[in-house]
């Protein structure tokens, strides 16, 4: 069972989201609701929920500041932001505080289901990694330890793709030399380190391109590419089309 805390200062929004969750997910329990950022911080300390569905613009402490404080004591919490304002600044700040997703109001049932499904998938991945760590503590084989450490660095990449990430840093996190980490990474992930980081950034860019209010330049910055032209070349190499062409294709499809 996964636990969820809903945070919104508007009662109708809280009730609507709660209704969708209870109808679509038998394995998610809404443990409580909060009406402000300060209220959210207190209730996260009380329940330590797996998932936090939170509005950004609220009186007092807003959702962004609340999320920043929450991440300091509950880093594993998967945060999904919602907002009626399509400001690029909000999307960028959401990434910086470690949010998993950013959805514009009014929320559609499909958006809610998709975001929560992704959150569950990420929680399960962490659970598997933790199980591997437990097996290691019980004296399991070295191969389990290596797999867990590789997954640990991949989780870090998945949460910090917008920042500069180097093989040297990840090798140090895993406690390996650069050469050994590179070799093990390719063995377990079936692709080299640079290609993996690039694929994570491109997949996130594809998600962001669905939001028509974000320009290609803005998407480029959010996923970690300061140079839009370089981002376009990388994207085209993987998707066989430019970000603009991909965005136009999605718009036409919808």
Q: How many CA atoms lie within 13 A of 78 on its CB side?
A: 21
- Both 109 and 214 in one domain: the answer is no
Handedness of CA 142, 144, 148, 151 (dihedral sign): positive
d(CA 243, CA 210): 11
pTM: 0.54
Question: Under DSSP, is residue 176 helix (H, G, I), strand (E, B) or coil?
Answer: coil
| Residue 38 exposed, middle or buried by CB count within 10 Å (0-12, 13-18, 19+) | middle
CA 194 to chain centre: 20
User: Where among 89, 121, 153 does a domain terminate?
Assistant: 121
pLDDT (0 to 100) of residue 128: 74
d(CA 254, CA 251): 5
pLDDT (0 to 100) of residue 73: 93
Residue numbers of the domain that contains 115: 2-121
- The pLDDT profile of the chain, 254 residues, written as one tens digit per residue, is 899 999 999 999 999 999 999 999 999 999 999 999 999 999 999 999 999 999 998 888 999 999 999 999 998 999 999 888 766 677 777 777 888 888 888 888 999 999 999 899 888 888 877 776 666 666 555 667 888 899 999 999 999 999 999 999 999 999 999 999 999 999 989 999 999 999 999 999 998 888 767 889 999 999 999 899 999 999 999 999 999 998 888 755 65
- Both 117 and 201 in one domain: the answer is no
pLDDT (0 to 100) of residue 157: 94
pLDDT (0 to 100) of residue 210: 81
- Both 8 and 116 in one domain: the answer is yes
Whether 181 contacts 167, CB under 8 Å: yes
* Residue 116 within a domain: yes
DSSP assignment of 134-181 equals HHHHTT--HHHHHHHHHHHHHHHHHHHTTS---HHHHHHHHT--HHHH
* Residue 148 within a domain: no
* Residue 179 within a domain: no
CATH of the domain at 86: 3.40.50.2300
Tokens 């839009």: give the residue: 228
User: Where among 75, 94, 121 does a domain terminate?
Assistant: 121
Whether 111 contacts 132, CB under 8 Å: no
Q: Quote the number of domains for the chain.
A: 2
DSSP assignment of 133-146 equals HHHHHTT--HHHHH
- Both 117 and 21 in one domain: the answer is yes
* Residue 235 within a domain: yes
User: Where among 80, 99, 121 does a domain terminate?
Assistant: 121
Question: Under DSSP, is residue 103 helix (H, G, I), strand (E, B) or coil?
Answer: strand
């Amino acid at each position: 069972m996964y636990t969820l805390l809903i945070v919104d200062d508007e009662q109708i929004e809280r009730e609507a989201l709660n209704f969708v969750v209870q109808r679509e997910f038998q394995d998610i329990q809404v443990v409580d609701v909060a009406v402000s950022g300060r209220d959210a911080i207190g209730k996260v300390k009380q329940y330590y929920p797996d998932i936090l569905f939170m509005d950004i613009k609220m009186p007092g402490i807003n959702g962004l500041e609340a999320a920043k404080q929450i991440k300091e004591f509950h880093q594993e919490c998967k945060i999904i932001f919602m907002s009626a304002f399509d400001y690029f600044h909000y999307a960028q700040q959401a990434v910086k505080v470690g949010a998993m997703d950013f959805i514009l109001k009014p929320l559609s049932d499909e958006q809610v289901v998709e975001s929560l499904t992704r959150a569950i998938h990420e929680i399960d991945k962490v659970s598997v990694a933790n199980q591997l760590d437990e097996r290691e503590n019980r004296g399991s084989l070295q191969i389990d330890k290596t797999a867990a450490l590789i997954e640990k660095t991949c989780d870090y990449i998945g949460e910090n793709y917008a920042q500069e990430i180097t093989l040297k840093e990840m090798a140090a996190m895993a406690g390996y030399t650069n050469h050994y980490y590179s070799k093990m990474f390719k063995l377990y992930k079936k692709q080299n380190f640079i290609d993996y980081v690039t694929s994570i950034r491109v997949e996130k860019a594809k998600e962001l391109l669905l939001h028509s209010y974000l320009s290609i330049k803005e998407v480029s910055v959010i996923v970690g590419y300061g140079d839009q032209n370089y981002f376009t070349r990388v994207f085209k190499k993987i998707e066989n089309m430019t970000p603009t062409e991909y965005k136009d294709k999605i718009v036409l499809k919808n």
